[in-house]
Structure 1
Amino acid sequence: MGKIEGIAIKNYGSLKEIVLGKTFSHQREKPLGNMVTIIGPSGNGKSTIADAFGFIADCLEMGVESACDAGNRGGYEQLLSQNSKEPISFEIYYREANNTRPITYELTIALDKFSRPFVKEERLRYRVENRGWPKSFLHLQNGVGFAFEGSQGGQDDDTGAIEGNKVAVTLADSRKLGIATLGAMKQYSRIEKFLNFLKSWYLCYFTPDAARRLQTAAPQPYLDRIGSNLNNVAQYMYRENRSDFLKILLNIQEKLPGIEKIQPLKMPNGQMVLQFWERGFNDPFFSQKMSDGTLKLFAYYLLLHEKNPRQLVFIEEPENGLYHHYLADLAEEMRKNVGTGYSKQLFVTTHSPFFVNSLPPDDVWVLKKEQSGFSVAQRASDYQFVKDLTEEGVPVGDLWYSKYFG
């Protein structure tokens, strides 16, 4: 359980210093909701924000040096904002549930004396309500520092006062995240919870061609990043709870144009395919013959109906390959699916006013570049005229399309 109430990114490409929502250093801002939609012209940093989330996930999985080179990022020097003398840093403001204290995770990445990317500083801390400065329960600098065991305690950032069981920590490799090592140990339960939250992130790079690949029958609970195991996920859901899966398929097929029935089929050779019955035809079509749009919609709706959902999902430009009239329904389904609790949070970048029309201005962030060439972000509801007009019933996407803002 958990969600991000805010994130700050510094010196990451065109994101010289950008803040979305409420963070430790921006306490007066409104927290992010369960659905966060980022709009703006091409080249203004939307993909860079998506990649920043992917970069953090890659740092956890493979270490910071490999993450800097992964996905054609080009290394640390190419990631660092031009002319920046400060390192790359992230601040994630996270809350596990409504009745828990918010936790801040800070990560700073720089170059060591051998010009290799390493973790310069890493910290987890929580704010003690009405008691001044927060308490750190993990603080590492150059791989050396401390961590606190158990579910309570920490070191006061102002006075240095200690509460709980403090343990000295020295990492063997400062190019690996401390939370990846310590979070694997049960005695560091708070670090473990945050680690599990980061592990649950899903960055969607779905490609229809990948979903068309013939796959050996092997039930899998989650879609991979490109959707190449779409049939296997359908197989898993079909096997684990057939009645629930059929209800899900019924819900999905009502939203897919011209589709009357969807069913997974295990072939004699052990491969798994999906059958789609289209209106007007007696025989089904296999997923390999379905249109890009149908496969994308099916994948998105399947993603929204995961039994044990990933806690943070990031989708870039879901409108690509989709008929514009389907986008409003998709946006509404996404908003309904994430709800208001702490089980799931969805980030989306889009160019589509049709998608944005289904969203309130609080859920929409406008990204644009200043004269400096760096991006800035502003909530659509922070434009007073946008707030006023949407209260009168004018959709946000129409205002954006008509260049009232953004």
Structure 2
Amino acid sequence: MKIESIRLKNFRMFRDVTIDKLPNCCFFVGANGTGKSSLFDLFGFLRDALTYNVKEALAKRGGFKEVVSRGTVGPIELELKFRDLKATSSKVTYSLVIDLVENMPVVKREVLKYRPKQRGGSPRHFIDFTQGKGTVVINDKSQEQQLLSKANLALKGVGQFQQFEVASELCRFIENWHLSDLQISEARKINLANGYDEHLSRCGDNMPLFAQWMCNNYPDQYHEIMHQMAYRLPNISHVEPILTEDGRIALKFHHRTFEETFQSWQVSDGTIQMFAYFLLLYDPNPHPLLCVEEPNNYLYPDTLIILAEELTWYACRGDGQVFVSTHSPDLLNGAKLEGIFWLTQKNGYTQVRTTAEDQLMKKLIEVGDLPGALWKQGFFEDAHP
């Protein structure tokens, strides 16, 4: 499953924005404060709303008034269109309207619909709820249902049952979204040896534990990571997860020149960053949607084109999708033109444009120009503050 388009209305800096034709790997650029992190938070918000409810998802972000666009009173409207579902060949649309009723956040409207294969057929509402009451299609018949709370998503309840394949698939998709915002200070931490982690965390604070799990259970993938590390960082021959005497998991970095190993706090920020991204990209169970914020930090510019290619490879490997935010022209040079979007601000609200719509840039790319160079030269209109 992949996201085909996103429509946001009154969500943070997005007063009314539609982003269409999203490919497998998307790069979002723009000046500071244009809304890249807010766009990625959409996915965290939906996951929290599904895991808990809309009230909790809003509370984690300061409440309804902090999430709704400034200068507006709402409602918040979110709409995502999906393609490549296993349960149906049709494109599926999920829309959510959130508002305050008696000063409490509620799901004012929730719809899951898809258009039948036959041409000209009208969209069919599989889930259609208004403030906790609505209908669900069961065996081609609509049945009325009522939720325990107006802040709950009907999708969560319906998606628990195997017979609702489309809803179940969408629930699994949202639950397994991953937002990566690696923090070097967190990634240097030593972990307690209590259990295991099957994915790298958002900030990377479980890196030793995840590296040990990969090394023990997927030695071929871990060996490939070591091969890639040696290619990018020739002085590093191996990274070894070890169990310390006090029952913790640490990382030892082996240097080709010296017999003594280095602890994670003794190697460069770039080395930590590179190892963390290899663990993320070679995860044996890739995320269906991976959002990565500023992967170019601490990395040498010459390595960034290859990193962009590896992010694209990750999307194809897991039959998923990757969204990347960056300020780096070097990283953008490895992106495909149809996957580049830039964010600008007008009257305090974010607008999103795509290079795929610019015929001049298409022609320049065809004759050998690079996207990052065009960005620096000002071809991304209004992208510079």
What range describes the TM-score normalised by the shorter chain of this pair? over 0.9
- 2:131 equivalent among 115, 119, 142: 142
Partner of 2:97: 108
Partner of 1:9: 8
| Residues 40 and 291 in structure 2, CA contact (< 8 A), matched pair in contact too | yes
The answer to whether structure 1 residue 383 and structure 2 residue 371 are counterparts is no
Letter in 1 for 2:28: I
> SS of the counterpart of 1:329?
helix
Distance change (3 Å), C-alpha of 1:100 and 1:249: farther
Partner of 1:154: none
| Residues 201 and 312 in structure 1, CA contact (< 8 A), matched pair in contact too | yes
Distance change (3 Å), C-alpha of 1:260 and 1:77: same
- 1:43 equivalent among 29, 33, 36: 33
Shift of 1:224: 1.6
Partner of 1:275: 252
Describe the superposition over 1:361-387 as per-residue Cα deviations: whole angstroms up to 9, x where unpaired: 1010011112x2211111112111111
Partner of 1:210: 186
Structure 1, 288-297 or 381-390: larger mean CA deviation: 288-297
Shift of 1:257: 5.3
Letter in 2 for 1:50: F
Identity over aligned pairs, percent: 31
> SS of the counterpart of 2:322?
strand
Partner of 1:296: 273
CA distance in 1, matches of 2:311, 2:259: 32
- 2:311 equivalent among 334, 359, 365: 334
Letter in 2 for 1:14: M
Structure 1, 248-257 or 266-275: larger mean CA deviation: 248-257
Describe the superposition over 1:125-181 as per-residue Cα deviations: whole angstroms up to 9, x where unpaired: 11123133110111111011011236xxxxxxxxxxxxx133321000111222122
Structure 1, 165-174 or 10-19: larger mean CA deviation: 165-174
TM, length-normalised to structure 2 = 0.93
5 Å matches for 1:75-94? 75-94=63-82
CA distance in 1, matches of 2:341, 2:330: 16
Describe the superposition over 1:93-143 as per-residue Cα deviations: whole angstroms up to 9, x where unpaired: 112348721111101111111x12121111111112313311011111101
The answer to whether structure 1 residue 231 and structure 2 residue 208 are counterparts is yes
**Stretches of structure 2 lacking an aligned partner (at least 5 in a row):** none
- 1:96 equivalent among 84, 101, 104: 84
Letter in 2 for 1:232: L
> SS of the counterpart of 1:8?
strand
Describe the superposition over 1:260-279 as per-residue Cα deviations: whole angstroms up to 9, x where unpaired: 21222122332111221123
Shift of 1:289: 2.5
CA distance in 1, matches of 2:234, 2:9: 43
CA distance in 1, matches of 2:286, 2:314: 10
Partner of 1:177: 153
CA distance in 1, matches of 2:363, 2:218: 47
Letter in 1 for 2:225: I
> SS of the counterpart of 2:232?
coil
Shift of 1:85: 4.1
Partner of 2:325: 349
The answer to whether structure 1 residue 125 and structure 2 residue 103 are counterparts is no
Distance change (3 Å), C-alpha of 1:253 and 1:108: farther
CA distance in 2, matches of 1:166, 1:378: 40
Structure 1, 75-84 or 395-404: larger mean CA deviation: 75-84
| Residues 45 and 57 in structure 2, CA contact (< 8 A), matched pair in contact too | yes
CA distance in 1, matches of 2:369, 2:326: 19
Describe the superposition over 1:175-207 as per-residue Cα deviations: whole angstroms up to 9, x where unpaired: 122212221222322211110000010011211
Describe the superposition over 1:278-332 as per-residue Cα deviations: whole angstroms up to 9, x where unpaired: 2322122122332222112211111111111110011111122323222222112
Distance change (3 Å), C-alpha of 1:94 and 1:165: same
CA distance in 2, matches of 1:336, 1:243: 18
CA distance in 1, matches of 2:105, 2:152: 10
TM, length-normalised to structure 1 = 0.88
Describe the superposition over 1:210-262 as per-residue Cα deviations: whole angstroms up to 9, x where unpaired: 12221122221111211111111111112213234223332344233532212
CA distance in 1, matches of 2:64, 2:235: 48
> SS of the counterpart of 1:280?
coil
